[in-house]
Structure formats: C-alpha cells, structure tokens
Structure 1
C-alpha cells in the first residue's frame, strides 16, 4: 500500500525561499515529473541554478530520471521526479498486545511487514530488541540493507513527549516511564528515530493514505481506551505537553457515578470503550468480558450488543459535537478495534453530532470508518519519519554529507 503523494506546498507557497536544493526538492515531492525549464519557469530561478540543484538531488538518489518531455524541435528535454525508493523507513506500531514492524519506501509503500504477538508490559528492552531484530530481518526480506534506512518511526500506546521520544507515565506500560527509546534503538540502528503516541500516528497514516485533500482532519480510536489525533491546517497538533486529543477523559453527565481507571468519574472511556461496553452487557446477563466479545455478539445479531454499541456511539458523539464546534474538521474518521467494527457505533456518533452541531459546521462534514484499518499506525509512523527526513533542512544536510540524526 502506498501513501498518496503529498499535495502541498504548492510552488507559489515556497517561491522566494528556494535558496537551497532542499527547498527546490519540496516542489518535486508531489511525484509529478518536470523538466529543468519547467522548474525554472515555476520558481523564477535561472536554469543554471536549477540544473545545479537537480544534479545534487540526482546524486543523492532523491530525484531520478522520468523520461523525456515532448520536443518542439531538437533533442527532447529530460524530465525528473521524486524517487521514493531511494531510502527506506522502518515503521513500528507497538500496541498493548502486539507489535507491527514494516519497511516502507519514502512514499509510504510497504515493502515488507510482520506482526508479532508481544506484550508492551514485557518492558522496553524486550519489546525494542524484538523491533530491531524484526526490522533487520524485514530489510533482508526486502533485499535492502540497514545502510539504506532514512529513519525509524515508532508509535506507542501511551503519552509520549514527542521532542525526546520518552513515554510519560503511560498507564499500561510498566517500566516505560521516561525510558529513552530513541537512544536505545540508535545503539543498534544509528538513524533518526521519532516516537509518538499511537493515535497521533494513526491520524497521520489515515489522512495521508485516504484523505490527503483534507487539511482539517480528526481521527478517533475506540478500543481498550479512547483517544484522538488532531490535524489542523495540515499539521498534527500535539499541544503544549503532547497530550492534545485525550478524548477519553472528557467527562459526561450520564456517567457521573461511573469510576474511570484514571480515578475520576464519568470519563468517556469508562462509558464507551470496549471494556466499558462489555461490562454493561455483563450487567444484562450476557457473556462479555472484552471488546471482542461485544463485536462477536453484535455480529451474531444480538440486539443488546447492537444497542450498547449504538449508545457508546451517542456518548462519543456528545464529545465530538463539542470538537466540531471548536475545531470545525471536514472529516472525522473512527478507527481502533471497536471503531472499525461496523456502522452501529458510527451511527450513534452521527446521530448526536449532526443534531447538536451548527448546520454550517456540519454542512460538508463526513463521519466514517477507518479505511487504512490496522495499517493506519505503520503508515503514520512512516509518514512521521518522511515529514522529518524530507524537510528542506534535512535534505540540505544530507546533500552536504552531514545528515541530521534527530
């Protein structure tokens, strides 16, 4: 699966800042083939300047030949385009009970991938050693080497200080609090390592692969917990301390007597997560201990399970109506093991959001189920890395032979 080529920035957005080859490269990231003359015309740079920068990008491998343009007489001019196969990304999705490791190219195309049954509670050394070992094995499967890695992206199921890559008091990750994930991984693979929480990278992956034309995008993960990823004006919003999007601990009046694992009462997560829905069904006499049991019952046509999912959707919709009023996204995508289960949950969300939000905010709003599914996180981990390593400054440093290492 390949990510949709990046559509921004347009040429007009960066003309005037094209002082380096790294800046010129941003025009080519959309995948469209261009001639030197076309680049000179669109940027206002001299052809000799464009030629020198294209030559440098060609040497790096980031840009490659893309055939010849039509000639108006004489030798047809050569065309050039972004070469996503020049370097590789190791994309990692660490969940509570699984780890997915994938090797992608710089365009997000998955070249090799493997899913491991691994408990995050086993601790950072155990998990990260497996990530490194599996990553090296997948590189061999893809017929590539570790020297071709541009970077590593890792998503973790808990709060992360993105600037340092350190988990911050993660509730289901014993031994991970403050652990230096970046330095530990770089001991074996000395490349840039970027770390974020899983919902943020799922938002990146979902948008890049299926909704790239939408700059205001909101992703909701509904599984063992509930969280969200916020993309506003095309940029992921992490907040002051990296905790933006903590949807699961917004309080609902309906749950004022329901205790949440965080210690507060009435949190959305205590009412609408997989375990919370299962608990409600157990109180009705049904055999349900986890979210998967809820989905099994609903798939079998059990009306109590279907209604429980619908009510969970309404509860989530109560919170999302406020999100729509504040952020005005054009798309809300629901993912996670419960969110991807079907229309019952999403129907409840739509019911409340469209009723409680202003008509102008919902006139073009789309609410749907994740299309990237279980691959959203690894696609987002890849996207997180490429946004960094293909930025103007890092491309320029690479061309100068002094690549930034994070």
Structure 2
C-alpha cells in the first residue's frame, strides 16, 4: 500500500513561503502532475522562478516528467510530478518477539520485506545486527545502493527519547536502556536514523494509510504490552520524555490485588495483556502460555477464553473512557495481536467507553479495528523518515549540497 503525503499547500506568496524549491516541492507531494504555468498560477511566483525551482528538483530526481498537458497552440507544455522512486526508505518494526524489516519508496509503498523471529531481550547489538544485515540484503535484492537510502525508521517496544533515538528504561528490553541505536545503525547505513516507540509509529502509519482526514486520532496496541499513540490536531504527541500514551500502567479499579511487573498494583497491562490473559486462563485450568494461545482458544470457541477476552476489552474500555473525556478523539483504532480476535475484544471496549464517556465526546466517535494490521508500524516508520527528509528545509539543504 502506498501512503500519499497530504501536506497542506502553502499560501501563494511571491517572495516568502514559496521562495525556495523545498517549499515548492510540497505542492507536488500529493502526486498530482502540474505544468510550470499551473505552478506559477497557484503560487504567484514568476514563471522564471518556478522554472529554476523545477530544474533543481528534476536534477535531484525528486520530481520527474509526467506527460504533457493539452496545448492551445504550439508545443504542449510538460507536466511534472513527485517521483517516489527517487530514493528508498528502510522501515523497521521491532516487537517483543519479532522484527519486520521493509524497504519502501518515498510514498510508503513496500518494495521488499523480511519477517524474523527475534526476541528483543537478546539485546540491542544482536537485534540491530540482524536489522542491518537484512536491510543491506533488501537493498541488494531491490537493485538499490546504500546511496539510494533516504533514511532508516525504527520502532521499538518501549519508551524512546525521540530526539536522540535512545530507549529510556524499557521494561521488556534488557540491555537497551540508553543504548545509542542511531550511531550503531549508522556504522553500516549512513544517513538519517529516526527511532520512536512502536505504538507511536503504528499511530502514524494507521492514520496516514486509512484515516488521513481525522486530526484527533488514538491508536491502541493490545499485545504483550498495552500502549497508545496519540495524534492531536494532526500532530503526534510524544510528551516531555517520550512516554505519552503509556496506558498499560494506568490503574484499573478491579485490579487492586494484581501485581504488575512495574511494581505497582492494578495496572491495565497486568490484567488485559496477552500474557496476563494466558496466566488467568491457566489458573482456571485452561493451559495457555502466551497471547497467541489465547487467540487460538478463542478461535476454537473456548468459552473461558472468550469471556477473558471480553473482560479484557472492558478493562481497556475503563481506561479509554478517561482518554475520550480528556482528548476527545474522533477515531480510536484497536491494533496489536489481541486486536486480531476482533469483535470479542471490541465488544467489551465499546460497552464501557460508550457507557462511561461524556455523551458529547462520543457523539461522532468511531471505535474500529486496525485496517493496516501488522503493516501499521512499517507504514509509520517509513512516513516518519519521509516527513523528515522531504520537509522544505531538508529538501533545500539537499539541493544546496548538490549544487
């Protein structure tokens, strides 16, 4: 699936916001082909100025000829459009027990992909070593060189200081705290390396691919852990230290006697995550060791498993009711491995959210299952890179360096 950038056009301005090629390029990122004359009319820039900007962008490969417009006499004018094949992006989703490495173009379309079974607890050098090796392999298979790589985007299953790319006391990632992920990857893959919490990039990917018109959006991952990615007024909210959206350690009233791995009692994750449900079923005499066992039992029609998943939905709904009242999103998307169980989990969530939230906050609220599925993080990691490398300032810097 391709993710089209929906950067809002800048206001026409002959000397200000569109004076640089990087700004003019943003108008072409929607993929629509335009002539020089159409761009001049839209921006208010002189045709000679537009022509110079277009020539620079063509030389960079970021835009390319896209046919000819109808002529009113004389030679038909050429049209130009964004060329997403100009560069490639390495998008990486590191989970608790898996790694997905994908090569995408600048629109987010997946060119090649490799899925690995890998425990994040094996440590950063082991995990990132495999990421780098697979990334180089995918580039070779796609016939692309390292110089074609625009950047690398990585999602990790724990808190991340986005400015530095360093994990911050991640509970399920022993050995990762403070590790310099960026420097390690750049030894083999030079260029921008951006790192964020996996749920944040899932929120970016899900919204970009399937809900682009919604400016207030929350993505919930229910799997080995529970977390959320929050997009408010179109912007991803990371918080002061990168921990915004950590719903897994919000207290649920019925869990007063349940100890969480964080040391507190009653955390949502300790009641509603995959491992928590598996442990609860085992105590009931239904053997299960992990979340995938719970999903298998539900698929087989096991009543205790179905009831446990429904209750997990209610527990998640308890926390989400507060989120709805506080943030007033228009869409909440449920993803992660337990979200694959579909309506059993969703029924419990909807039951509590619509009962406990303010009526005005739920008037137009949609609660839906993830449409991107396990590709959400890949879409988001790719977009995280393209937002960075295709920004007006980055494009201008690239063109000046080339010149």
* TM-score (normalised: structure 2): 0.97
Is 1:39 equivalent to 2:31 in the alignment? Answer: no
Kindly state the Cα deviation for residue 160 of structure 1 after the two structures are TM-superposed.
0.7
Kindly state the Cα deviation for residue 216 of structure 1 after the two structures are TM-superposed.
1.2
Query: Which runs of 5 or more residues in structure 2 are unaligned?
Result: none
- 1:45-60 equivalences under 5 Å are 45-60=45-60
Q: Distance in 2 between matches of 1:14 and 1:347?
A: 51
Is 1:389 equivalent to 2:402 in the alignment? Answer: no
Give the 3-state SS of the residue equivalent to 1:194 in structure 2.
strand
Kindly state the Cα deviation for residue 283 of structure 1 after the two structures are TM-superposed.
2.4
Which residue pairs with 1:341 in the alignment?
Answer: 341
Which residue pairs with 1:239 in the alignment?
Answer: 239
Q: Is the 8 A contact 1:334 1:340 kept in 2?
A: no
Q: 1:69 to 1:394 in 2, by over 3 A?
A: same
Q: Distance in 2 between matches of 1:243 and 1:118?
A: 24
- 1:106-255 equivalences under 5 Å are 106-255=106-255
Which residue pairs with 1:399 in the alignment?
Answer: 399
Q: Distance in 1 between matches of 2:83 and 2:375?
A: 23
For residues 153-201 of structure 1, the C-alpha deviation after alignment (integer angstroms, 9 at most, x for no partner) is 0111111110000111111211111111101111111110000111111
Q: How many residues align?
A: 402
Kindly state the Cα deviation for residue 13 of structure 1 after the two structures are TM-superposed.
8.5
For residues 130-167 of structure 1, the C-alpha deviation after alignment (integer angstroms, 9 at most, x for no partner) is 11111111111111111100000011111111000011
Q: 1:399 to 1:160 in 2, by over 3 A?
A: same
Which residue pairs with 1:20 in the alignment?
Answer: 20
Q: Distance in 1 between matches of 2:126 and 2:307?
A: 41
Q: Distance in 2 between matches of 1:89 and 1:353?
A: 38
Which residue pairs with 1:361 in the alignment?
Answer: 361
Which residue pairs with 2:5 in the alignment?
Answer: 6
Q: Distance in 2 between matches of 1:220 and 1:379?
A: 16
Q: 1:272 to 1:14 in 2, by over 3 A?
A: farther
Q: Is the 8 A contact 1:11 1:42 kept in 2?
A: no
Query: Which runs of 5 or more residues in structure 1 are unaligned?
Result: none
Kindly state the Cα deviation for residue 14 of structure 1 after the two structures are TM-superposed.
8.1
Q: 1:31 to 1:134 in 2, by over 3 A?
A: same
Q: Distance in 2 between matches of 1:146 and 1:216?
A: 37
Q: Is the 8 A contact 1:32 1:81 kept in 2?
A: yes
Give the 3-state SS of the residue equivalent to 1:12 in structure 2.
coil
Kindly state the Cα deviation for residue 62 of structure 1 after the two structures are TM-superposed.
0.5
- 1:250-261 equivalences under 5 Å are 250-261=250-261
- 1:256-335 equivalences under 5 Å are 256-335=256-335
Kindly state the Cα deviation for residue 103 of structure 1 after the two structures are TM-superposed.
0.5
Q: Distance in 1 between matches of 2:161 and 2:371?
A: 28
Kindly state the Cα deviation for residue 402 of structure 1 after the two structures are TM-superposed.
6.7
Give the 3-state SS of the residue equivalent to 2:401 in structure 1.
coil
Which residue pairs with 1:105 in the alignment?
Answer: 105
For residues 354-402 of structure 1, the C-alpha deviation after alignment (integer angstroms, 9 at most, x for no partner) is 1222222222211111111111111111010000000011111110117
Kindly state the Cα deviation for residue 270 of structure 1 after the two structures are TM-superposed.
0.8
Which residue pairs with 1:89 in the alignment?
Answer: 89
Q: Is the 8 A contact 2:153 2:384 kept in 1?
A: yes
